[in-house]
């Protein structure tokens, strides 16, 4: 039978029409504390509604939707967290992504509400959504709770990706890794766990240092990782033969990236290298979807964007680096290694 081209399949449109509702349904579950409340097993709906200060009819609708979204499962005993919800959506889990979920719900949601204006003007939406001007990380870190929330959100993603990033190349010959903007230190921890002779320094803004010390202190390699406070644009950089930038480059304008890469290049010895952890866009930029969405996310909240390997190579070569190699990983972040020739 001939295909009716006047009535194409509406599935893609219908799916996207609903997509934000699915995200918000998960955000609401985390914000309400549902997965935490079910951490030790099923509970009666009425008891849950009372504990979460929720309307029980509305909560029942949400609960059924969470089953449909594979965040809860129904057994004979009642409704319980699926393994994914238990690992990533409970605040007591070491692998939690609740910080990133909370940040998406409380902060990004309002920035994305102005995406049309971001596209018209080509700039982030902090002022429009919140009335804030000034350096972007002052917004991310507007108070202690936001800083912790944002940084632990990054940490959850980092736990999934950093072991893949440090395994993307053989880094066994390097002695001292300097992880600039290293936050909780998940990349330095993953690197030191994989390369037993490696020592590392997590370098970040002063406000992040206490949390970095806390997370690194609880890791099995804390005797090989130091934490230093500083501004990577202006302060002297620690000495090392391997630098790392994990989810840093897409935050900044091209001028600032050049400034940072040039500083790193000048600080490295010959044969030293820079490891970049980012999701690479395909050469034609038509995928992967996650990187495309993240590039739009960067538009709403930073000065930067996501890039292809060729675009990273151009930035790195302009700063003086020689050989540049990319490696796509099976995790949310890929890896790029640039060597000082």
Ligand X SMILES: C[S@@+](CC[C@H](N)C(=O)[O-])C[C@H]1O[C@@H](n2cnc3c(N)ncnc32)[C@H](O)[C@@H]1O
Q: Considering only the stretches 98-106, 176-184, 282-290, 319-327, report the one whose residues sit in contact with ligand X under the rule CB under 6 A.
A: 176-184
* Residue from 101, 166, 178, 183 binding ligand X (CB under 6 A): 183
228 strand-pairing partners: 203
Q: H or E stretch including 242?
A: strand 242-246
Contacts of 135 (CB under 8 A, 6+ apart): none
In contact, 171 and 242? CB cutoff 8 Å: yes
For residue 144, state whether it binds ligand X (rule: CB under 6 A): no
Measured from the CB of residue 106, what is the shortest distance to ligand X in angstroms?
17
Report the residue number, 69 or 108, with the smaller CB distance to ligand X: 108
- Three-state secondary structure call for residue 270: coil
Residue nearest to ligand X (CB): 181
The whole-angstrom separation of Cα 290 and Cα 248 is 17
Residues numbered 234 to 263 that lie near ligand X (CB under 6 A) are: 246-248, 251
Report the residue number, 33 or 181, with the smaller CB distance to ligand X: 181
Report the residue number, 49 or 291, with the smaller CB distance to ligand X: 291
Q: Is the peptide bond before 288 cis (omega within 30 degrees of 0)?
A: yes
* Residue from 29, 38, 71, 208 binding ligand X (CB under 6 A): 208
Measured from the CB of residue 154, what is the shortest distance to ligand X in angstroms?
4
Contacts of 204 (CB under 8 A, 6+ apart): 180, 181, 182, 183, 212, 227, 229, 230
Each as own residue / partner, the long-range contacts of residues 171-175 (CB below 8 Å, 24 or more positions apart, any chain) are: 171/195, 171/198, 171/242, 171/275, 172/197, 174/198, 174/241, 174/242, 174/272, 174/273, 175/199, 175/240, 175/241, 175/242
- Three-state secondary structure call for residue 179: strand
The whole-angstrom separation of Cα 254 and Cα 304 is 8
* Residue from 52, 62, 205, 296 binding ligand X (CB under 6 A): 205
Report the residue number, 81 or 300, with the smaller CB distance to ligand X: 300
Q: Considering only the stretches 18-26, 39-47, 177-185, 279-287, report the one whose residues sit in contact with ligand X under the rule CB under 6 A.
A: 177-185
- What character string, x for contact with ligand X (CB under 6 A) and - otherwise, covers 104-143? ---------------------------------x------
Measured from the CB of residue 289, what is the shortest distance to ligand X in angstroms?
20
How many CB atoms lie under 10 A from the CB of residue 168? 20
Measured from the CB of residue 216, what is the shortest distance to ligand X in angstroms?
13
Measured from the CB of residue 132, what is the shortest distance to ligand X in angstroms?
16
Which residues contact ligand X by CB under 6 A?
A: 137, 154, 158, 181-183, 204-205, 208, 231-233, 246-248, 251
């Amino acid at each position: 039978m001939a295909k009716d081209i006047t009535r194409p399949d509406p599935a893609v449109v219908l799916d996207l029409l609903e997509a934000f509702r699915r995200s918000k349904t998960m955000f609401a579950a985390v914000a309400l504390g549902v997965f935490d409340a079910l951490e030790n097993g099923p509970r009666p709906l009425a008891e849950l509604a009372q504990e979460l200060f929720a309307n029980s009819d509305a909560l029942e609708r949400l609960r059924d939707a969470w089953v449909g979204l594979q965040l809860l499962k129904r057994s004979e005993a009642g409704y319980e967290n699926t393994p994914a919800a238990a690992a990533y959506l409970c605040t007591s889990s070491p692998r939690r992504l609740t910080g990133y979920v909370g940040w998406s719900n409380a902060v990004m949601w309002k920035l994305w509400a102005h995406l049309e204006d971001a596209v018209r003007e080509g700039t982030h939406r902090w002022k429009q959504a919140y009335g804030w001007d000034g350096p972007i990380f002052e917004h991310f870190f507007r108070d202690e709770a936001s800083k912790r929330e944002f940084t632990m959100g990054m940490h959850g993603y980092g736990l999934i990706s950093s072991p893949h990033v440090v395994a993307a190349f053989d880094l066994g010959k390097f002695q001292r890794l300097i992880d600039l903007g290293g936050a909780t230190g998940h990349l330095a921890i993953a690197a030191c766990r994989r390369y037993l002779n490696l020592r590392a320094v997590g370098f970040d803004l002063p406000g992040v240092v206490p949390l970095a010390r806390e997370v690194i202190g609880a890791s099995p390699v804390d005797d090989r990782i130091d934490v230093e406070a500083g501004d990577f644009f202006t302060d002297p950089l620690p000495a090392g033969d391997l630098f790392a930038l994990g989810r840093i480059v897409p935050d900044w304008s091209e001028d600032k990236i050049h400034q940072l890469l040039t500083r790193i290049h000048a600080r490295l010895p010959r044969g030293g290298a820079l490891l970049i952890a980012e999701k690479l866009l395909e050469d034609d930029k038509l995928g992967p979807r996650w990187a495309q969405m993240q590039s739009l996310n960067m538009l709403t909240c930073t000065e930067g964007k996501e890039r292809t390997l060729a675009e990273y190579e151009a930035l790195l070569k302009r700063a003086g680096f020689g050989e540049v190699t990319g490696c796509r990983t099976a995790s949310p972040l890929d890896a790029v290694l640039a060597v000082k020739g």
